[in-house]
Amino acid sequence: MTELVALTMPKWGLSMEEGTLASWHLAEGDAVTEGAEIADIETSKLLNTLEAKQAGTLLRLVAEEGETLPCGALIAVMGEAGTDGAAVDAFVASFEAVESDAEDAEEGGATPAYRTAEVDGLSLRYAEAGAGEEVVLLLHGYGGDSGNWMFVSEDLASDYRVIALDLPGHGGSDKALPGGGSIEDMAALVRAFITAEGFGAAHLVGHSFGGAVADRVAASDETRSLTLIAPLLPGAALDRGYIADFAAARRKRELREVLTRLVADADSISRDMVEDVLRTKRLDGVAEALARLGEVAGEIAEDAPRPPAAPALAIWGEADRIIPPPADGALGDACDLHVIAGAGHLPHLEKAAETTRLIRRNIAGDQ
């Protein structure tokens, strides 16, 4: 490394405008290896760890712990060991924050842009990022939205065309459900969405209820790969109390208690996350959609246990209390199981870097 490199407040997802530097993992003067954990950043969703994209030396910490900064703001400087301090001072003084917006997505950048598709009479919103030849379709879980993939999509978008769909009843998509709202109806709509947008054979990544949808899609469609994160598979040991309590929660305190069940570290649930979820739950049609999908989730859990319908990688958080990790071999010979320590039901948010590496390995066919 011969030049100074700016480390900036990342922009993970369309909704992220600022982040809080929660803690530094390294000190000034420390050697940095590629992939090393540099700092913890608090977002409106959860705490995430910023990793180094290249090796070097951490020359200057610009942001202080506890400081909230807009996306693109300078937080640190890397370079070669022994770089003159005056050069670093000049670099910091002359730095201009880099704005990353939806225009980057139009040019094939990593920052996503929202788009809308009309499929079978329903308006479906999705976030798109990247310009690779192969499509990675991300399907969120019950009560979530495309923003749940904020820590995963940016990384994948450097090599793939990444599509994060808001399922019906969620996010910016119509709140009406397809057909009777069954899992087969949801899967049929996703297949129609793939066809309508011309994605062809895609890599499917589904979380929880979205994993159930991805499993059904892969059963009848050509799929490049299937990655399931804490999936709701037939016969799953689903905590139905969570489903009922999530749907019933009307106040911040009630909802926060419910959301803490999703994660290994209850303190990682931010006030912004609680407020965002509560705001969405109050939209017209959401309560009815969640009620029906909660019934569907229960029906899936009551079905006879079976492994995924197609060869897959299953990723689980070791501390998942919503759908606990299955026993070794329970998912069949065609499904590899990887359990992540320190994560609950949301490993793609709690342990995003490790989860993303596993997704990449499965997409590449290198398990």
Supply φ then ψ for residue 315, to 5 degrees.
-115, 130
The residue among 319, 196, 217 whose CA lies nearest residue 260 is 319
List the CATH code of the domain at 113-364.
3.40.50.1820
Q: What is the mean pLDDT of residues 194-209?
A: 97
* Cα(367)–Cα(355) distance, integer angstroms: 13
Our CA angle for 300, 304, 310, nearest 5°, is 75
User: d(Cα 203, Cα 218) in Å, to the nearest integer?
Assistant: 10
Task: Output the pLDDT for position 206.
Answer: 98
Q: Do domains 5-94 and 113-364 have the same CATH topology?
A: no
Q: Report the DSSP pairing between strands 135-139 and 161-165.
A: parallel
In the chain, what are the domain boundaries? 5-94, 113-364
Q: How far apart are CA 173 and CA 233, in angstroms?
A: 24
Give residues with Cβ within 8 angstroms of 155, minimum separation 6: 356, 360
pLDDT tens for each residue of 98-156: 554 444 444 445 556 899 999 999 999 999 999 889 999 999 999 999 999 989 998 99
DSSP sequence for 121-146: TEEEEEEEE---SSEEEEE--TT--G
3-43 pLDDT tens trace: 899 999 988 876 778 899 999 999 999 999 988 899 999 88
Band of residue 271 on the pLDDT scale cut at 50, 70, 90: confident
Looking at this protein, which amino acid is placed at residue 260?
T
Model confidence band, residue 326 (pLDDT cutoffs 50, 70, 90):
very high
Confidence at residue 113, expressed as pLDDT on a 0 to 100 scale: 83
What is the architecture of the domain spanning 5-94? Beta Barrel (2.40)
pLDDT single digits (tens) 27-36: 999 999 988 8
- CB-count burial class (<10 Å; 0-12, 13-18, 19+) for 29: exposed
DSSP SS3 for 309? coil
- What integer pLDDT is reported at residue 366 of this predicted model? 67
pTM of the model: 0.83
What pLDDT, on a 0 to 100 scale, did the predictor assign at position 339?
98
| 37-70 residue pLDDT tens | 999 998 877 888 888 989 999 999 999 999 999 9
Over residues 291-320, the pLDDT tens digits come to: 999 999 999 999 999 999 889 999 999 999
